Chains A and B, each alone.
Chain A
Amino acid sequence: MCRHVAPVGHVTHNESVTPHGIALVASMQRQGTLTWTPSALQVLYAEPDGGNCRAHCVTDQPLPAAIAAIRAEVAAEGLAPSEVSQVNDQILSNQSIFGSYKPTSVQGEWGLFVGDAGFNLSSSTMQAALQLLSICGIEAVPVGCGLDSGFIPCSLGYPDTARMQAKLCIDEIQRVGVKKLLVLSPQDLFAFGQMYEERLGVTWPDEVVLIDLVEFMADRVQAEHYKGAISTEKTNDFIAYVDPTHAVRLPARLDAARTLCKVALGVAPMELFWRRERAHPVGSTAIQFTRPDIGIKLTESRIQDAMDQGAQALLCDDPATLHELHLRNQSPMRVQGLYELLIEQLGKK
């Protein structure tokens, strides 16, 4: 009964691809009244694993994890569609979906986990983040460059692959000597902070503190680390902030992102209808591979939401969300990285 925040249900208007419908299909399969036909599998892989249903569940039922577990059964039986198993094969051979993984040999106490999308799809975001950190005296070592954190294979039902990715992430972080790990992408932060333990039984190392980069930057801004450095010119444009995919799983970041936007814009950003606790994902999760038709609709509906509100530009901090928005935006509205904008503002000063 989380239909009010079911993003796929909202873009397809189809009962079958809501969490309720997917759960029903899975239960019918268990009862023997439905077999995993191609059309039933289309339903099973239509859930983006963005966390909305859990975040709004009246009684906190872990449905996304349950769906991932059913997908694991399907994969174990060799029934996963080829587009699903190909993603797993790609990760097994490259540790990355979007390009390549480049382990680092630099040592450092502070690390910035860049991840797959941050390295291979939207490297300007990583560069801007490193620059901002440097200005406030943090020389963070980029780690996990091009490395999938395990979220995608876990979500698709390949927990063994996900555990291998988790091990690679933790090994690199420990090898570098990172004690404070800033995380660029909400997807990776969710994987490290929640998914590893809940779905994979992987324990995050006690000695490594996880920090959401957005929260860290907002704290620094509030502590006036950038005082006098950022232009105080107020924008006259209508600029909206898009809460990235997985934002609903990380409630502490919702205010932090807006604090940063206010610094960058001189005014509070416009608020979209599907914002904050009810934020909808773009098609940046595994759904871009399993149901690209739905993934595109998810992104387009975020763009439409902003256009309906009269936004002239969209801001976001997540590399994967930014990449999707850039890719699908055919409107005159601009899409811009939040960290990149902050760097621009520093330049103006």
Chain B
Amino acid sequence: MNLTGLQPEMIRSELTEIVGDSYVSTDDSDRLVYSTDWFWLPQMWLDRGEVPRKPDYIVRPKNAEEVSAILKIANSYRIPVIPWGGGSGSQGGALPVFGGIILDTKRMNRILEIDEKSLTVTAEAGINGKQLEWAVNEKGLMLPHYPASANCATLGGYLAPRGTGTISNKYGKAEDLVLRMQVVLPDGHILRTPIVPQHASGPDFYRLFLGAEGTFGVITEATMQLDYLPECRLLRAVLFDDLTNALEAGRQIMTRRLDPFVIRLYDPRSTASRVKKILGYELEGAYMVLGFDGDEEIAILQERKAMEIIGQFGAQDLGREPGEAWWNHRYDFYYPPQSLKLPWMYGTTETVTTYDKIEKLYFAEKKAVEEGYKEWDVDFIGHFSHWFHWGVMVYTRFIIQNPPDDAREAVRLHNRIWNTAMTAVLENGGMVNEHHGVGLKLSRFMRRQYGDAWPLLERIKKTLDPNGIMNPGKVGFGH
């Protein structure tokens, strides 16, 4: 989008009329800061001294009515609008790839109600995740969605890409915790979904906005399910000789509904590298952390039953301390100085599929990446961390310590590796993503992912957003 002459000032003045001068910015430093999220590509681009596409405006509305008015202006000028929460996404979902308006939701940060009887919280979508958690903790409650990004991400950012947190095994993904949402549609219409999600009063249309990453509208408010803070959290670590046995043990624990709040299984390569580096344990094999919480008597019993299963697979019980150490340092894996960092090249090709396919998928992807990029000395590591009754997510990562210095060459190599990885995933029955979302990074794979169903999504997009203003270039729309 190229704004020239009088037009940029006209738009600015109209935006200022809605939110006030303090909440519209066109400062160059602000525009640069909002030109990147945590996607490796723009970070690398900046690191190599290049400038990514900047937004034209950053606007901070205070409520749904202001969001509605902004979207109406954007439609009249055909300007892109990119919803922005904490900017912690790793998929480029908040990048202003065509310029336009960054709609920063953080001013919409009020907690509207904590219902201690129904155990729900209703809050505006721009509230910081950790802040929301602290507020409900004061009532002895928790919002059981603990992503590594909670310190940074917003409630809207939990929902827009269908995020998953550390304790999802028991409590579900963010999308499983939402009862109701307020959404502003691309034309500015404000709607509220029905009061509860489980009913037989028509289709489950509210789910359209979960995973749409702002392409179908802006989530401005949500009612979320809470839980009581657990009486206890029991953590323990075990070590398997091989991944096959570990996966089968995990499957049996889940399918027998022993209800662990976490099972984190590191592949042997991750055990030898990341677990050693961050937790300091030198182990050979597949390291698994198990956690049970809630009522202490029940948690002890669940843990005992799980350990019986684990014992059948010959795993070594490492005791509580390594499990608790992992829990206490679980986010260190993702923060400096322990996190992967530039100038390295890295990407998290996480995926999910059913138990019957997961092992084959993991080894197929590992082989494709390791053999395909041997000359780059690629490291391929993974862990299995979000377990369902029917399958499990694998969080695989590729790491290249000496990528090309040239930014454009680096982009090409990065995208080739992603093509290889996603082809292996799709050919082996996986989804292109389980919890980070699609964003810009995976947008080009959506047509292949959905096949015959894709035109339906495109038709919905066209109906809701005929001018294509909402977060263009993301989630497969515009490809």
Contact B338–A28 (Cβ < 8 Å): no
Contacts of A56 in B (CB 8 A): 151
Contact A24–B33 (Cβ < 8 Å): yes
B106 contacts the other chain (CB 8 A): yes
Contacts of A278 in B (CB 8 A): 134
A-side binding surface: helix, strand, loop or mixed? helix
A31 contacts the other chain (CB 8 A): yes
Q: What is the 8 Å Cβ interface bit string for chain B, positions 44-72, against chain A (1 contact, 0 not)?
A: 00111111000000101000000000000
B281 contacts the other chain (CB 8 A): no
Contacts of B34 in A (CB 8 A): 15-16
Contacts of A42 in B (CB 8 A): 27, 29
B32 contacts the other chain (CB 8 A): yes
With both beta carbons as reference points, the residue of chain B lying nearest to A271 in the complex is identified as: B138
Contact A1–B25 (Cβ < 8 Å): no
Partner of A33, one of B23, B46, B109, B130: B46
Partner of A1, one of B30, B135, B149: B149
Instruction: Give the contacts of B317-370 with A (CB-CB under 8 A).
Output: 331-332, 335-338
Of A1, A27, A42, A56, most buried by chain B (CB within 10 Å of CB) is A1
A267 contacts the other chain (CB 8 A): no
Q: What is the 8 Å Cβ interface bit string for chain A, positions 10-21, against chain B (1 contact, 0 not)?
A: 000111100011
* CB of A343, distance to nearest CB on chain B (Å): 33
Q: How far is the CA of A25 from the CA of B46 in the complex (A)?
A: 11
B437 contacts the other chain (CB 8 A): no
Partner of A37, one of B29, B47, B107, B135: B29
* CB of A131, distance to nearest CB on chain B (Å): 37
B88 contacts the other chain (CB 8 A): yes
- Counting chain A residues whose Cβ lies within 8 A of the other chain, the interface size class is 20 to 34
Q: With A15-B104, A278-B134 in contact, do A3 and B152 touch (Cβ < 8 Å)? A: yes
Q: How far is the CA of A273 from the CA of B130 in the complex (A)?
A: 13
A72 contacts the other chain (CB 8 A): no
Q: What is the 8 Å Cβ interface bit string for chain B, positions 1-30, against chain A (1 contact, 0 not)?
A: 000000000000000000000010101111
Contact B28–A37 (Cβ < 8 Å): yes
* CB of B66, distance to nearest CB on chain A (Å): 13
Contact A4–B29 (Cβ < 8 Å): no
Q: What is the 8 Å Cβ interface bit string for chain A, positions 32-64, against chain B (1 contact, 0 not)?
A: 111001011011000000000000111101000
B472 contacts the other chain (CB 8 A): no
Contact B336–A59 (Cβ < 8 Å): yes
B129 contacts the other chain (CB 8 A): yes
B182 contacts the other chain (CB 8 A): no
Contact B337–A34 (Cβ < 8 Å): no
* CB of A57, distance to nearest CB on chain B (Å): 8
B214 contacts the other chain (CB 8 A): no
With both beta carbons as reference points, the residue of chain B lying nearest to A21 in the complex is identified as: B33
Contact B337–A33 (Cβ < 8 Å): no
Q: How far is the CA of A121 from the CA of B304 in the complex (A)?
A: 63
Contact A33–B32 (Cβ < 8 Å): yes
Contact B106–A4 (Cβ < 8 Å): no
Partner of B30, one of A33, A39, A59: A39
Contacts of B336 in A (CB 8 A): 59, 61
Contacts of A58 in B (CB 8 A): 151, 331-332, 335
Q: With A1-B152, A25-B32, A31-B46 in contact, do A59 and B106 touch (Cβ < 8 Å)? A: no
* CB of A152, distance to nearest CB on chain B (Å): 24
B120 contacts the other chain (CB 8 A): no
Q: How far is the CA of A164 from the CA of B126 in the complex (A)?
A: 45
A2 contacts the other chain (CB 8 A): yes
* CB of A284, distance to nearest CB on chain B (Å): 23
B122 contacts the other chain (CB 8 A): no
Q: How far is the CA of A101 from the CA of B354 in the complex (A)?
A: 73
Q: With A31-B49, A33-B50 in contact, do A25 and B131 touch (Cβ < 8 Å)? A: no
Contacts of B131 in A (CB 8 A): 4
Contacts of B165 in A (CB 8 A): none
Contact B106–A13 (Cβ < 8 Å): yes
With both beta carbons as reference points, the residue of chain B lying nearest to A22 in the complex is identified as: B33
Contacts of B46 in A (CB 8 A): 24, 27-28, 31, 33
- Counting chain B residues whose Cβ lies within 8 A of the other chain, the interface size class is 35 or more
B211 contacts the other chain (CB 8 A): no
B86 contacts the other chain (CB 8 A): yes
Q: How far is the CA of A20 from the CA of B128 in the complex (A)?
A: 15
Q: What is the 8 Å Cβ interface bit string for chain B, positions 150-167, against chain A (1 contact, 0 not)?
A: 111000000000000000
Partner of B332, one of A25, A33, A59: A59
Q: With A2-B151, A14-B60, A15-B104 in contact, do A33 and B335 touch (Cβ < 8 Å)? A: no
Contacts of A1 in B (CB 8 A): 88, 149, 151-152, 335
Contacts of A57 in B (CB 8 A): 335
B87 contacts the other chain (CB 8 A): yes
Contacts of A273 in B (CB 8 A): 134-135, 138
Contact B33–A15 (Cβ < 8 Å): yes
* CB of A55, distance to nearest CB on chain B (Å): 13
Q: How far is the CA of A33 from the CA of B45 in the complex (A)?
A: 11
* CB of B57, distance to nearest CB on chain A (Å): 13
Contacts of A9 in B (CB 8 A): 106
With both beta carbons as reference points, the residue of chain A lying nearest to B50 in the complex is identified as: A33
* CB of B249, distance to nearest CB on chain A (Å): 30
Contacts of A28 in B (CB 8 A): 32, 46
Partner of B337, one of A4, A14, A59: A59
18 additional A-B pairs beyond A16-B34, A20-B87, A31-B46, beta carbons within 8 Å, are: A1-B152, A1-B335, A3-B152, A14-B25, A15-B30, A15-B33, A15-B106, A24-B33, A25-B29, A28-B32, A33-B50, A34-B28, A37-B28, A37-B29, A42-B29, A43-B30, A58-B331, A273-B138
Of all A-B residue pairs in the complex, the 10 with the closest CB atoms, nearest first, are A4-B130, A39-B27, A40-B29, A13-B106, A58-B335, A16-B33, A13-B107, A3-B152, A4-B151, A31-B49
23 example contacts (A-B, Cβ-Cβ < 8 A) are as follows: A1-B88, A1-B152, A2-B151, A13-B60, A13-B109, A14-B58, A15-B34, A15-B84, A16-B27, A16-B29, A20-B152, A24-B33, A24-B46, A32-B49, A33-B32, A34-B29, A34-B32, A39-B28, A40-B28, A58-B335, A61-B337, A273-B134, A278-B134
* Chain A residues within CB distance 8 Å of chain B: 1-4, 9, 13-16, 20-21, 24-25, 27-28, 31-34, 37, 39-40, 42-43, 56-59, 61, 273, 278
